[in-house]
Amino acid sequence: MTMAPRTAYRQPQAGGQGFARTKKVFGGPTITLVAGDVALNAQTAIARVPKGFILQSIGGTVGDLDTGAALMVALGDAGNNARFFAANAIGQAGGAMPALVAGSVGYEFPDDTDILLTSTVAAAGLGPTPTINLLLEGYMK
């Protein structure tokens, strides 16, 4: 059963205005996840991007989200929950964001879009540093 995503971001909105190819960065500050965010199929909105934003890269860090070694996460949106990466074990011990999947660089968002972290395999329990800091870099069309 898929639940509605929990909105965890509180970022100021940079807005969709700007000259063509003016760099925009969305995401941050660091978000602290709760136990429900690492349950099976849980979705957490960790950032929001405006219509017309074209993605060039992502960066950021993930803390230790799992007390065990099972957690797998995907990063995407409502249209494709693995648009940026899928089935990744980054939350088991923490580290830097993984590389983007093929086809996501240059992706243009057709609407204002929440960026969703989805738990594709549940965590054994919430880890000691359940944080994520995501930055999406790109420009407006």
Whether the model pTM is above 0.75: yes
| Domains in the chain: ranges and CATH | 26-140 (2.60.120)
95-114 pLDDT, tens digit per residue, is 888 889 999 999 999 999 99
Query: What single-letter DSSP state applies at residue 91?
Result: H
Q: pLDDT band for position 140 (50/70/90)?
A: confident
What Cα–Cα distance (Å) separates residue 38 from each residue in 20, 107, 118? 38, 27, 8
Distance separating alpha carbons of residues 66 and 130, to the nearest angstrom: 8
Distance separating alpha carbons of residues 72 and 66, to the nearest angstrom: 9
Residue of 16 and 104 predicted with greater confidence? 104
Task: Let me know: does 42 contact 4? Beta carbons within 8 Å.
Answer: no
CA atoms within 13 A of residue 11's CA, in its CB half-sphere: 24
Q: pLDDT band for position 48 (50/70/90)?
A: very high
Distance separating alpha carbons of residues 66 and 38, to the nearest angstrom: 8
Closest among 125, 138, 116 to 45, alpha carbons compared: 116
